[in-house]
């Protein structure tokens, strides 16, 4: 058995050393079973329990302020009075978790669980955190098997059609989705619960058998109309802009257009089933050329359907031959990716990473774009089925349209369906008690945020009894601003790019349009905060004005930790943008390991992006932080400029929700530990968390 009195001394000494890097944020989920509450309550009247109770109360308050290291110290003190108290172990584990020290968190949680505390909720939390740590060390980029998590039926409970013959679906970043209804000639917008938000019948004469919908790089929507022999363009909100194409065989003419794709230059590709070819238009809809017809080295497309563009290669599925062909963006034939009869009758083909997701009758496959290797992602079974579109959504699911059964399926990984959602109560604000506000974070088991939840997707209880005046106050995914910290590398090698650095800082600050707070931290031998305030305050930024001198050694780990500390209590969308030449100095991660930094960022919803001042590959440490958090990598002189980086950060999905209610509990003048429970559910998946708080002293 672990001696927690000795462990207290060890952890106490460690966090006195680390106290200079305290973090600030919300809270994490915790709970206390009725059995454990009766068996090991810290309310027992004794000198030790009285002192433990005081320190425990201070620890809970520090935790909700975001002062996690302070909370750790308070919980360690409380535990020194009552070494076997499970609820203190639970809270101590939560404080370690939010501080990024997941190993210590798991150790404390496991000890409490071994003593019978916490039940299935604590066991589930331990299992999820352990699985995430394993994946963070070496996740493989490969397709997985999906199973049905739920579905949206084309008919409501009264037998009235909501949509009929769904043929294509397009997810949005806020959890909603566009669904094309082939039979009723409509483009519908549905929320996460399947409720219709908007109906769009097209422009003037309306849609004429709409077939596919995609989102262009500029955010506009593009809809192909199979019977109308045209393609229509809409704004991101569904307002008609224009149509292009006409019936015929000349350049720019169409006969039965089906599926759509766009390349990196904004050119639009349309699979023209009637003409057995691919038609190409520019970003404005002006005809350019067509390809895929018979030539000396190619027999010609027979029935082109699904189409995708990846790394300047155009992939085209042929429903009559069952093959997938490759072309360059100029239309030159490059050969087969999948030979004839690989598929029975392929429909749409959408890119997902380096894979192509192909619908083939009642199955969906992932095709490796390099080798053509197939992996079966899902099957709709033996019932009559015609899957026409499959695309990943913002919540880590695959949305699939079934033309025959008149349903849109939500497919999830089997582990997600069985394990449910990971719900964490991150903060309880009780300053206005009995009115209480809580911040809840909802993720799947793979750490992906679940966005789009509504008020009816939550249930709040106190001691298992429903609360009064419950309200969803807001959701972070809808925020249109973000707090950004620019982490400027002050190594000797990065110092050679001062001009590039200055232009990058100015462009990023300008693109924030005074939305959110901008911070600048210089990473040298010791990190320094150079600026904090409105983005407009650095419009005349000069590298020579940085206080931190260039250095041969850069403590990048300490700098990242400092940046994160200042972002924990910032806007719900926040990120660190590292600016340097992509190289780290020796011993850059001596004090904090990459795994702990990664956990600290992820457990507090902070992204990490990398802006390179020089061309070339980044060092593996920077790649690790970028790939394991919400962030990306950019080159300072990329063709599209840097303004979209801010939009990318704002568009990072966030599963943080703010809920409020009126408590009916007695506070014992602010001395009583008050419980609260939250359950979140969507379709047949759910997750739950329990925690407690103290009302203000009276």
**Distance in angstroms (rounded) separating the CA atoms of residues 559 and 63:** 23
**Distance in angstroms (rounded) separating the CA atoms of residues 173 and 652:** 9
Is 7 a residue whose pLDDT tops 80?
no
Per-residue burial over 392-417, b if 16 or more Cβ lie within 10 Å, else e, is ebbbbbbbbbbbebbbbbbbbbebbb
Pick 17 or 598 by higher pLDDT. Answer: 598
**Between the CA of residue 574 and those of 113, 138, 483, 505, 646, what are the distances in Å?**
34, 25, 5, 17, 10
CB 364 within 8 A of CB 358: yes
**Between the CA of residue 34 and those of 339, 380, 424, 670, what are the distances in Å?**
62, 43, 19, 21
Least confident residue range of 127-136, 146-155, 581-590: 127-136
Query: Which pairing describes strands 277-281 and 268-272: parallel, antiparallel, or unpaired?
Result: antiparallel
**Distance in angstroms (rounded) separating the CA atoms of residues 677 and 460:** 6
187: closest CA among 499, 401, 449? 401
Least confident residue range of 80-89, 108-117, 142-151, 583-592: 142-151
| H/E element, 647 | helix 643-650
Q: According to the model, what pLDDT value does residue 602 have?
A: 94
**Distance in angstroms (rounded) separating the CA atoms of residues 341 and 325:** 12
**Distance in angstroms (rounded) separating the CA atoms of residues 676 and 62:** 18
- Tokens of residue 304, six digits: 């082109």
**Distance in angstroms (rounded) separating the CA atoms of residues 252 and 231:** 11
Q: According to the model, what pLDDT value does residue 204 have?
A: 83
Q: Given the structure tokens 């085209």, which residue do they identify? A: 316
Band of pLDDT at residue 84, cut at 50, 70 and 90: confident
Q: Given the structure tokens 């009064």, which residue do they identify? A: 468
CB 211 within 8 A of CB 186: no
**HSE-up of residue 187 (Cα within 13 Å, Cβ side):** 30
Q: Report CA dihedral (460, 463, 467, 471) to the nearest 10 degrees.
A: -20
**Distance in angstroms (rounded) separating the CA atoms of residues 687 and 680:** 5
**Distance in angstroms (rounded) separating the CA atoms of residues 478 and 260:** 29
- Tokens of residue 524, six digits: 């040298």
Mean pLDDT of 518-531: 96
Q: According to the model, what pLDDT value does residue 319 have?
A: 97
Phi, psi of 309 (to 5 degrees): -125, 130
Is 372 a residue whose pLDDT tops 50?
yes
Mean pLDDT of 451-466: 96
The DSSP bridge partners found for residue 110 are: none
Query: Which pairing describes strands 435-443 and 458-462: parallel, antiparallel, or unpaired?
Result: unpaired
DSSP for residue 494: G
Burial class, 300, CB count within 10 angstroms (exposed 0-12 / middle 13-18 / buried 19+): middle
Is 227 a residue whose pLDDT tops 90?
yes
CB 261 within 8 A of CB 307: yes
pLDDT digits (tens, 9 = 90+) for 22-44: 322 233 333 333 334 434 444 44
Band of pLDDT at residue 141, cut at 50, 70 and 90: low
What does the DSSP assignment read for 389-430? EEEE-TTS-EEEEETTTTEEEEEEEHHHHHH--EEEEEEEE-
505 CB-near residues (< 8 Å, 6+ apart): 486, 488, 520, 538, 541, 579
Q: According to the model, what pLDDT value does residue 27 have?
A: 31
Cis bond before residue 198 (omega within 30° of 0) = no
Phi, psi of 126 (to 5 degrees): -60, -45
46: number of Cβ within 10 Å: 10
The top-scoring range by mean pLDDT among 6-15, 44-53, 61-70 is: 61-70
**Distance in angstroms (rounded) separating the CA atoms of residues 444 and 683:** 14
Mean pLDDT of 505-516: 94
Q: According to the model, what pLDDT value does residue 364 have?
A: 96
Band of pLDDT at residue 624, cut at 50, 70 and 90: very high
Per-residue burial over 219-256, b if 16 or more Cβ lie within 10 Å, else e, is eebbbbbbebbbbbbbeeeeeeeebbbeeeeeebbbbb
Phi, psi of 80 (to 5 degrees): -65, -25
**Distance in angstroms (rounded) separating the CA atoms of residues 440 and 231:** 43
Q: According to the model, what pLDDT value does residue 135 have?
A: 64
Is 176 a residue whose pLDDT tops 70?
yes
Q: What is the mean pLDDT of the chain?
A: 90
The pTM is what?
0.87
**Between the CA of residue 349 and those of 255, 318, 339, 621, what are the distances in Å?**
20, 11, 16, 35
Residue 56, SS3 per DSSP: helix
Residue spans of alpha helices (H) in 115-256: 119-138
Q: According to the model, what pLDDT value does residue 38 have?
A: 36
What does the DSSP assignment read for 278-315? EEEE-TTS-EEEEE-S-BTTB---SSEEEEEEETTEEE
Q: According to the model, what pLDDT value does residue 139 have?
A: 37
**Distance in angstroms (rounded) separating the CA atoms of residues 531 and 535:** 10
DSSP for residue 206: -
Q: According to the model, what pLDDT value does residue 382 have?
A: 82
Q: According to the model, what pLDDT value does residue 409 have?
A: 95
In the sheet where 146-153 sits, what is the strand order? Answer: 146-153, 407-413, 398-402, 387-392
Mean pLDDT of 657-670: 95
């Amino acid at each position: 058995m672990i001696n927690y009195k000795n462990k207290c001394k060890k952890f106490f000494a460690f966090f006195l050393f680390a106290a200079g890097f305290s973090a600030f944020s919300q809270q994490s989920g915790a709970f206390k079973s009725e059995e454990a509450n009766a068996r090991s309550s810290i309310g027992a009247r004794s000198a030790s329990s009285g002192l433990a109770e005081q320190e425990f109360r201070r620890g809970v308050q520090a935790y909700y302020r975001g002062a996690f290291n302070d909370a750790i110290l308070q919980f360690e003190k409380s535990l020194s009075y009552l070494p076997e108290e499970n609820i203190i172990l639970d809270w101590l584990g939560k404080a370690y978790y939010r501080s990024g020290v997941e190993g210590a968190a798991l150790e404390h949680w496991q000890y409490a669980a071994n003593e019978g505390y916490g039940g299935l909720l604590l066991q589930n939390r331990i299992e999820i955190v352990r699985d995430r740590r394993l994946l963070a060390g070496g996740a493989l980029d490969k397709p997985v098997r999906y199973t049905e998590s739920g579905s949206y039926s084309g008919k409501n409970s009264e037998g009235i059609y909501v949509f009929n013959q769904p043929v294509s679906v397009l997810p949005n970043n806020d959890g909603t989705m566009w669904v094309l209804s082939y039979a009723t000639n409509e483009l519908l917008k549905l929320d996460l619960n399947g409720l219709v938000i908007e109906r769009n019948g097209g422009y003037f004469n309306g849609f004429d058998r709409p077939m596919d919908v995609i989102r262009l790089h500029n955010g506009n929507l593009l809809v192909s109309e199979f019977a109308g022999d045209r393609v229509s363009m809409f704004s991101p909100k569904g307002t008609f802009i224009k149509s292009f194409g006409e019936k015929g065989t000349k350049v720019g003419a169409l006969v039965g257009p089906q599926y759509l794709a766009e390349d990196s230059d904004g050119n639009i590709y349309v699979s023209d089933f009637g003409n057995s070819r691919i038609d190409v238009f520019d970003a404005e809809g002006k005809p350019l050329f067509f390809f895929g017809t018979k030539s000396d080295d190619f027999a010609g497309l027979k029935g082109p359907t699904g189409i995708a563009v990846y790394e300047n290669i155009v992939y085209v599925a042929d429903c009559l031959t069952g093959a997938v062909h490759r072309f360059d963006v100029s239309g030159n034939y490059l050969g087969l990716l999948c030979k004839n009869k690989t598929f029975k009758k392929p429909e749409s083909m959408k890119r997902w990473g380096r894979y192509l997701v192909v619908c083939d009758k009642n199955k969906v496959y992932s095709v490796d774009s390099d080798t053509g290797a197939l992996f079966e992602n899902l099957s709709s079974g033996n019932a009559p089925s015609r899957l026409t579109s499959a695309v990943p959504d913002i919540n880590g699911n695959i949305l699939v349209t079934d033309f025959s059964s008149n349903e849109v399926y939500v497919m999830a990984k089997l582990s997600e369906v069985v394990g449910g959602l990971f719900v964490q109560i991150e903060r309880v604000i009780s300053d206005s008690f009995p009115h209480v506000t809580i911040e809840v974070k909802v993720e799947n088991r793979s750490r992906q945020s679940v966005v789009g939840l509504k008020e009816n997707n939550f249930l709040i209880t106190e001691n298992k009894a429903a609360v009064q005046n419950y309200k969803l106050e807001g959701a972070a995914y809808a925020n249109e601003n973000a707090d950004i910290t620019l982490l400027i590398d002050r190594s000797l090698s990065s110092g050679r790019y001062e001009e590039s650095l200055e232009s990058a800082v100015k462009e990023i600050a300008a693109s924030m349009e005074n939305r959110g707070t901008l911070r600048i931290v210089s990473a040298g031998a010791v990190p320094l905060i150079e600026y904090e305030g409105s983005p407009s305050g650095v419009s005349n930024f000069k590298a020579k004005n940085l206080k931190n001198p260039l250095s041969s050694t850069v403590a990048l780990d300490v700098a990242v930790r400092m940046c994160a500390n200042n972002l924990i209590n910032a806007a719900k969308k926040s990120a660190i943008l590292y600016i340097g030449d992509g190289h780290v100095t020796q011993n850059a991660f001596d004090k904090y390991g990459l795994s702990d930094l990664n956990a600290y960022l992820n457990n507090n919803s902070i992204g990490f992006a990398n802006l390179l001042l020089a061309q070339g590959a980044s060092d593996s440490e920077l790649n690790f932080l970028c790939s394991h958090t919400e962030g990306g990598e950019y080159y300072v002189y990329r063709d599209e400029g840097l303004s979209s980086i801010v939009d990318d950060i704002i568009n990072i999905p966030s599963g943080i929700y703010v809920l409020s209610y009126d408590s009916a509990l007695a506070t014992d003048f602010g001395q009583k530990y008050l419980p609260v429970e939250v359950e979140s559910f969507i379709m047949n998946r759910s997750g739950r968390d329990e925690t407690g708080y103290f009302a203000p002293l009276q």
